[in-house]
């Protein structure tokens, strides 16, 4: 509850007021390193403009810069382009995964490889405007450990995508104990200690937005307008998004499991009432043979409920199986530009 109010109240940071009164946690960016973590899957068409834009924005902040690019099993020239860039730009580091592990895994890999005092995950397609990072750093200097971007306007997304995203946040936050501030993504600045906290979470199902909310710390939101994808296409179809949503919910609440106890009790009570009613009826008006339709309906309904309950358990058991196997979240094929 306290989390919820803070997240809502934190949407509009009073930057000017906070600057005048020096916050107790204030710190300076001087001599500090900022790591950008960029997961990339088939992003060759956007790389040039991405790096140009990074130079014009974060390149001008008075911090040391480290750009960790995670090649998530790209099938195009992404890796080649990145290695040539890393060869002439020491700020660029490349982590190449052995295959496509998905964005969450790629992000995890990048966060673990990043060494900065501040770390900012960023989408390669410039949908997370890098010019905002300057503001993030200023708020970090004021003592905030997590500065997250809030998409104040999603008109660049389709109506259906926006509606499904809204529905997801509402559902998620009504069942999860750790609410995600609405309309936030992975785009945020995190202090070193937050990164260390994330590294301590051993789970393989990396629903990053949820984990970011779970770790806590002093957080603040900065509203921004999310632009359309610059080039290329989104790798997220609706099927993938649905899997993602189920991953998120199962990782943060067991309510779908527990709810079946209530449904079961409700069904049992209903059955008892019906049974008593039937007995009374037989005693009063005698046996009533027709009843096939109602019987079938009750039977099918009960059957359907059981199947749903089994399916829900399957979702959790499948995930437990994944976690128990203990396979690594990702495998690294190549590291370029690190330890230099
Ligand atoms: N991405 C990735 N692995 C994947 C899919 C996507 O690393 O399997 C990266 C992608 O290159 C981009 C970021 O994740 O930098 C966000 O992907 P996208 O723009 O396709 O998603 P959307 O913006 O539609 O959520
Ligand atoms: Mg995108």
- Which ligand 1 atom is the nearest neighbour of the CA of 106? 7
**Residue 146, domain member (yes or no):** yes
Pair 264, 231 in one domain? no
Burial of 177 (0-12, 13-18, 19+ CB in 10 A): exposed
Q: Is the pLDDT of residue 15 over 70?
A: no
pLDDT in tens, 193-235: 999 998 888 777 777 778 888 888 888 888 887 776 666 666 6
Distance 123 CA to ligand 2 centre (A): 6
CB atoms under 10 Å from CB of 267, counted, come to 16
**Residue 231, domain member (yes or no):** yes
CA atoms of 204 and 313, how far apart (whole Å): 19
Pair 209, 173 in one domain? yes
- For residues 99 and 83, the answer to whether their CB atoms sit within 8 Å is no
Of 158, 152, 180, 159, which Cα lies nearest the Cα of 168?
180
Domain encompassing residue 193 = 2-235+332-336
User: Is residue 234 within 6 Å of ligand 1 at its C-beta?
Assistant: yes
Of 1, 14, 10, which Cα lies nearest the Cα of 150?
10
**Residue 247, domain member (yes or no):** no
pLDDT in tens, 138-167: 999 988 999 988 887 766 677 777 788 888
Query: What secondary structure letter does DSSP report for 178?
Result: S
Tokens of 200: 């301590």
Q: Work out the average pLDDT over 179-185.
A: 78
Pair 92, 173 in one domain? yes
Q: In total, how many domains does the chain have?
A: 2
Per-residue confidence band for 6, with pLDDT thresholds at 50, 70 and 90: very low
Q: What is the pLDDT of residue 7?
A: 44
- For ligand 1, atom 3, the nearest C-alpha belongs to 103
**Residue 92, domain member (yes or no):** yes
**Residue 244, domain member (yes or no):** no
Of 36-40, 87-91, 223-227, where does mean pLDDT reach its minimum? 223-227
Mutation probe of ligand 1 site: the residue of 183, 235, 240 with most atoms within 8 A of C-beta: 235
**Residue 250, domain member (yes or no):** no
- For ligand 1, atom 24, the nearest C-alpha belongs to 234
Pair 162, 267 in one domain? no
**Residue 249, domain member (yes or no):** no
CB atoms under 10 Å from CB of 284, counted, come to 7
Pair 68, 169 in one domain? yes
């Amino acid at each position: 509850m306290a989390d919820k109010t803070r997240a809502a109240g934190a949407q509009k940071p009073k930057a000017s007021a906070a600057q005048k009164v020096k916050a107790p946690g204030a710190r300076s960016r001087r001599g500090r390193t900022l790591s950008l973590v960029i997961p990339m899957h088939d992003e060759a068409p956007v790389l040039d403009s991405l790096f140009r834009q990074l130079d014009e924005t974060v390149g001008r902040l008075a911090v040391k810069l480290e750009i960790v690019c995670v090649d998530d099993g790209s099938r195009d020239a992404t890796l080649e382009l990145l290695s040539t860039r890393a060869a002439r730009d020491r700020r660029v580091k490349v982590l190449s995964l052995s295959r496509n592990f998905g964005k969450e895994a790629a992000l995890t890999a990048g966060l673990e490889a990043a060494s900065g005092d501040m770390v900012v995950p960023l989408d390669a397609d410039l949908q997370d405007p890098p010019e905002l990072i300057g503001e993030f750093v200023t708020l970090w200097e004021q003592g905030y450990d997590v500065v997250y971007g809030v998409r104040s306007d999603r008109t660049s997304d389709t109506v259906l995508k926006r509606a499904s995203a809204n529905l997801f946040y509402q559902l998620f936050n009504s069942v999860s104990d750790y609410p995600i501030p609405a309309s936030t993504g992975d785009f945020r600045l995190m202090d070193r200690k937050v990164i260390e906290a994330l590294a301590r979470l051993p789970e393989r199902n990396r629903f990053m937005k949820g984990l970011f909310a779970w770790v806590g710390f002093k957080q603040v939101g900065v509203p921004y307008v999310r632009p359309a994808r610059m080039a290329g296409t989104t790798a997220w179809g609706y099927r993938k998004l649905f899997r993602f949503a189920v991953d998120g919910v199962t990782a943060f609440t067991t309510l779908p499991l527990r709810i079946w106890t209530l449904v079961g009790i409700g069904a049992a009570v209903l059955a008892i009432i019906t049974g008593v009613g039937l007995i009374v009826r037989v005693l009063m008006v005698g046996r009533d043979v027709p009843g096939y339709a109602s019987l079938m309906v009750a039977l099918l309904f009960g059957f359907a409920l059981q199947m749903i309950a089994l399916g829900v358990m399957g979702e959790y058991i499948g995930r437990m199986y994944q976690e128990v196997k203990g396979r690594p979240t990702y495998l690294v094929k190549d590291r370029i530009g690190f330890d230099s």
